[in-house]
A and B are shown apart, each in its own frame.
Chain A
Amino acid sequence: MANLPDDDVPELARGIHDMGGLPGGAVDRHEHAVTLWEKRVDALLVLLTRKDVFSVDELRNAIERLGAEAYTSMSYYERWTASIAWNLMQRGVITADELGRRMAEIEAEGRQ
């Protein structure tokens, strides 16, 4: 922990992402091959931010609010995907109903 006492830090102030100084274990330095869907998510965000649909700060803001359990269990691009969906709904680009129906269709088709 840091030198400064942290007893004045309100519990709600520390998001799960703000982990500097907390015990974190060893760093996994293995290279990870990027899959096609991850590249697509990356490209999607580039398009959305360049077209000013929403900003990277909004992307991060929603990621920081996923909740500790989701934040730690999801992969990097899974977090992006969840945040992109949230921000597209926030901006009125898609509705939760449209997204829910499409997700169910894809699941029924047995696709990933």
Chain B
Amino acid sequence: MTASVATAKRFKPGEPVRVRRAFPPGHIRTPIYIRGAEGVIERDCGDCVNAEERAFGRSGLPKLPLYRVRFKQRQIWPDYAGPANDSVEIEIYANWLERA
């Protein structure tokens, strides 16, 4: 079962987080290339319907916290040639995040 909003981890902007490295089948909104990467919470997007559940015709409730997480491009792509501060931001559900 997914965690309810009441019990799900809450992060604050600026907190370092790590994306869980897991590969379940299903409808997953966390792209594979970012699983296992470390980033920083950019903002709390509020509580959102759980798309992993709603994709199978269920309600998607309880909602899950959704966070926008900022990652450094250079930490993700070994051959990234852009400026060191370039970042990529991805909106990720709380069940995929852990404290780094």
Contacts and interface: CB of A to CB of B under 8 A. Distances in A.
Contact of B37 (A4, A9, A58): A4
B9 interface: no
A8 to B, nearest CB: 7
- Provide the main secondary structure of the chain B interface: loop
Interface string B51-70: 10011110010000000000
Interface string B1-19: 0000000000000000000
Interface string B24-43: 11011001111111000000
A13 interface: yes
B37 A57 contact: no
Contacts, number: 60
Contacts of B56: 58, 61
Interface stretch (A14-22, A33-41, A93-101, A102-110): A14-22
Interface in B65-100: 75-78
B33 to A, nearest CB: 4
B49 to A, nearest CB: 8
Contacts of A9: 23, 32
Contact of A54 (B27, B32, B57, B78): B57
Most B CB atoms within 10 A — which of A60, A90, A91? A60
Interface of B: 21, 23-25, 27-28, 31-37, 51, 54-57, 60, 75-78
Given A2-B34, A2-B76, 5 more contacts: A2-B77, A4-B21, A13-B25, A14-B32, A55-B55
